[in-house]
Amino acid sequence: MLTSFESDKQQILDRVDLVSLVSEYVALRQRGQRWVGLCPFHAEKTPSFTVNPDMGIFKCFGCGKGGDIFTFVQEKERVNFVESLEILADRAGVELHRRGDVNQNQNDGASRTEVAKANAWAASLFQRNLADPKLGESTRAYLENRGLSPETTATFGVGLAMGDDDSLLNAANKDGLSVQLLIASDIMRRSEHGNGRAYDTYRNRLMFPIRDMTNKIIGFGGRTLGDDPAKYLNSRQTPLFDKGRSLYGIDLARESIVSTGRVIVVEGYTDCLAAHQAGFTETVATLGTALTLAHVDILRRYCNQIILLFDSDQAGDAAAERAIKVSIPRCVSVRLAHIPEGQDPCSFLGANDKEVFVDVLNAAIDALEFKWQLTQRRFNLESSESARREAILDFLRVVAEGMSTGAVDAIQRGLLVNQVAHLLRMDSSEVNRLIVGLSPRRSQDDSLSEPGARAGSNRREMPSSSEHAAWTRLLEVLLIEPGAVPEIGLLPDIESMTDERDRRLAKIALALKDQLGEFRLSDVLARCDSPEDARRAGVLARVGSERGNYVATATLAIERILCAREQNELEHRKAALLGEGLEEEERTANLAAIYEAAKRRGHFAPRHASSSESAMLTQKRIDPQKAQKP
């Protein structure tokens, strides 16, 4: 019988489709019975990440990560098993049994699930404020003046935070939410002065809920509606929110990014809304930060072209330099498009037809070329040769920094060097020499810190002995095709398995076989108490399915296990013969057992001991013929 905890896990496994879950993070393409895409856990240029929906597991052949839906959520969301269980239970509509320490929150503060619920509550309150005929009247007029329709603001869940300190606190008290949870979610903050009174984080602000790709609200951005010097205010770091890893609008833009093969990146929330309203639904916004490697890692799973929009030469220079540094290691194309001076994308789209914006996008140029154009303007204004040389070296330093990571292979490096050499009208060998000289030194630890760069990360675990290898083969078959394994009573004793993790999996699988006869991998995963065990089960099942020939594999594995044990017993008896204190009968019995085992294994001819055995027996003064059966 499944425990209530195992039953909860099984319900989640039955209800959550792995392909749908992973597709919220990775652009998957079907190949036969499997789905493939770029790995969400390390940087790669060609897809090595696979999802097997029939087995309910994923595996990356580049970095080695693999497992089931729980493992995926743990790895992707950086949570423990309990929190992954809560996230998936909420998704599947499964009410978890709250008994024992398995489902208890293991964090000192609020869990991700609790923060998400608090955020959803606050977003609903902000939206009601904006929709209120009196409270939201002036804010709705502001949005209308910006050219944003009620339909667009409703799609993005835009809301209004009132101007007083206690509106959220009063509503929370009414709805039964604790101040501690609201503070953990950064919806409220505690004063650092006086009595440490709690107050609303967002006051008199236009509120933009920030969602992840699963449509979960992870934080907020608030634009002041008054004279607050902080024009924009974003959520602080929480268990859910990391500004440098989040993109506004990604939940609504993902499908369009995949279909168009590109993403448009803007800076402001209203810029993103205006672009979507105009039909450019592949648009996202950074949250007051420059484009980061984490942003590129997210976007490159859905497309290979990023278009950055900027509104001034100074902003374009900084954007180009940053784009070069983050795009080269990730092998993506980043192009820069210039909005006419003095306008942001929101105002530009409000004042021009859609076709004019298309022209702006079509005029986007490669980040390297754009940076070089700005460098040319700079050194053309310089009169001295040394100043012009320094400007060129500054450009090459930016390129060298981007190329200094271990993620740039020889082919990519050669293409980049040729591109830079063409821009500079220099010999490629000279450009390469300069880049090498300007590249920052990287320690071995730095190189190993690159995603997917760990030596041997893709190597399969090697068995410690022939018996261990045989047990691994048997377990592979047992997990993927239990019907091919003989009756439990005919199997060797699993307590002799040296790998504790495999022994735990074998116990689960054999118990299921005893109870059900046939079972699924998901049944095993439901009973795994640790993500490491689940990950190991997924790997073994995948390898077993690739190996095939289940009955023959299981039969041979059992024979090898028994043979290995017999050999161990043989060695034990040999060692005993060399020991002291054995009675004559014991020595004779040991020798007889050795002879019979060796005869079966063909190690020496019948009725004749090997030279080494004879020497041993002579030393012990035992007649070899006494140990032979007539």
Q: At what angle do helices 367-381 and 410-424 cross, to 10 degrees?
A: 30
Residues 524 and 512 sit within 8 Å (Cβ to Cβ): yes
List the end-to-end C-alpha distance of the chain, in Å, as a whole number: 55
Q: Which of 223, 310, 299, 316 is nearest to 260 (CA)?
A: 299
Residue with tokens 């003095």: 342
Identify the H or E element spanning 314.
Answer: helix 313-327
Residue 525 three-state SS: helix
Reported as a single tens digit per residue, the pLDDT across 444-469 is 333 323 333 333 334 445 555 677 88
Token match 């008290």: residue?
Answer: 173
Q: What is the amino acid identity at position 414?
A: G
CA 126, CA 220: separation in Å to the nearest integer? 11
Alpha carbon distance 481, 459 (integer Å): 25
- What residues contact 47, with CB distance under 8 A and at least 6 apart? 29, 36, 37, 38, 39
- pLDDT at position 222 is 95
Among the listed residues 57, 198, 95, the one whose alpha carbon sits nearest the alpha carbon of residue 531: 57
- Contact indicator for 305, 262 with CB cutoff of 8 Å: yes
Of 276-280, 313-317, 397-401, 575-579, the range with the lowest mean pLDDT is 575-579
- Please list the residues that pair with 283 across neighbouring strands: 264
Cβ atoms of 572 and 82 within 8 Å: the answer is no
What pLDDT digit, counting tens, does each position of 505-532 carry? 888 888 887 777 777 787 787 777 776 7
Confidence at residue 52, expressed as pLDDT on a 0 to 100 scale? 86
Residues 6+ positions from 585 with CB-CB distance below 8 Å:
none
79 falls in which pLDDT band (50, 70, 90)?
confident
| Spatial distance between the Cα atoms of 432 and 373, rounded to a whole number of angstroms | 20
Q: Please state, in angstroms and rounded to a whole number, the distance separating the CA atoms of residues 169 and 160.
A: 15
Does residue 607 surpass a pLDDT of 60? Answer: no
Q: Is 261 left (phi over 0), alpha (psi -120 to 50) or beta?
A: left
CB 629 within 8 A of CB 592: yes
Percent of the chain with pLDDT strictly greater than 70? 78
Instruction: Please provide the average confidence, as pLDDT, over all residues in the chain.
Output: 78
Rounded to whole angstroms, the Cα distance separating 469 from 476 reads 11
pLDDT tens-digit series, residues 95-148:
776 544 333 333 346 777 889 999 999 999 999 999 999 999 999 999 999 999
Reading the block at residue 409, the tokens are: 């292979």
CA atoms within 13 A on the CB side of 260: 17
29 membership: H or E segment, kind and range: strand 29-31
pLDDT value, residue 169: 83
Candidate from 47-51, 431-435, 547-551, 612-616 with smallest mean pLDDT: 612-616
Q: For every residue of 246-312, which 3-state class applies, written as one string?
A: CCECHHHHHHHHHHHCCEEEECCHHHHHHHHHCCCCCEEECCCCCCCHHHHHHHCCCCCEEEEEECC
Handedness of CA 235, 237, 241, 242 (dihedral sign): positive
Pairing of strands 205-211, 159-161: antiparallel
Q: What is the mean pLDDT of residues 467-482?
A: 84
- The CA distance from 441 to 422, in Å, is 26
* Identity of residue 607: R
Question: Which position has the higher pLDDT, 129 or 196?
Answer: 129
Model confidence at 340, in pLDDT bands (50, 70, 90)? confident
What pLDDT, on a 0 to 100 scale, did the predictor assign at position 555?
A: 84
**Paired residues of 29 in beta bridges:** 36
Q: Is the pLDDT confidence value at 603 over 60?
A: no
Contacts of residue 116, defined as CB under 8 A and 6 or more positions apart, other chains included, come to 90, 216, 217, 218, 240
CA-based nearest residue to 56, from 98, 21, 26: 21
Confidence of residue 481 (pLDDT cuts 50, 70, 90): confident
Residues 487, 517 contacting (CB under 8 angstroms): no
DSSP state of 461: P
| Structure-block tokens of residue 38 | 């770029």
Per-residue pLDDT at 339: 86
Average pLDDT, integer, range 468-497: 80
Is 9 in contact with 89 (CB distance < 8 Å)?
A: no
Q: Tell me which residue has tokens 């205010």.
A: 233
Give the Cα separation of 576 and 591 in Å (integer): 10
Tokens matching residue 296: 């590129």
610 pLDDT band, cuts 50/70/90, is very low
Q: Which amino acid is at 140?
A: R
Give the C-alpha separation, 508 to 527, whole Å. Answer: 7
pLDDT at 211: 94
According to the model, what pLDDT value does residue 119 have?
A: 95
Write down how long the chain is.
630
559, 493 Cβ separation under 8 angstroms:
no
Name 58's bridge partners: 51, 67
Reduced to 3 states (helix: H, G, I; strand: E, B; else coil), residue 50 is strand
> Phi and psi at residue 36, in whole multiples of 5°?
-130, 155
**Which pairs count as long-range contacts for 134-143, CB under 8 Å and 24+ apart, including other chains?**
135/160, 135/162, 136/160, 138/225, 139/206, 139/225, 142/206, 142/225, 143/206
Count of other CB atoms within 10 angstroms of residue 510:
17
pTM higher than the cut 0.75: no
Q: Is the pLDDT of residue 91 over 90?
A: no
Residue 3's φ and ψ, nearest 5 degrees, are: -70, 170
User: Shortest CA distance to 330 belongs to which of 368, 296, 371, 367?
Assistant: 296
**Token representation of residue 564:** 């290995």
Looking at residue 586, its pLDDT comes to: 64
| Rounded Cα distance, 8 and 205, in Å | 41
| In the predicted structure, residue 47 carries a pLDDT above the cut 90 | no
Interval 381-407 mean pLDDT: 73
Mean predicted confidence (pLDDT) in 228-243: 87
Is the pLDDT assigned to residue 620 strictly greater than 70? no
What's the pLDDT at 606? 37
- pLDDT tens-place string over residues 254-279: 889 989 999 999 988 999 999 999 99
Instruction: Say how far apart CA 566 and CA 15 lie, in whole Å.
Output: 47
Instruction: Look at residue 165 in the predicted model and tell me its pLDDT.
Output: 66
Report, as an integer, the average pLDDT of 155-180: 88
Question: Per-residue confidence at 569, pLDDT binned at 50, 70, 90?
Answer: low
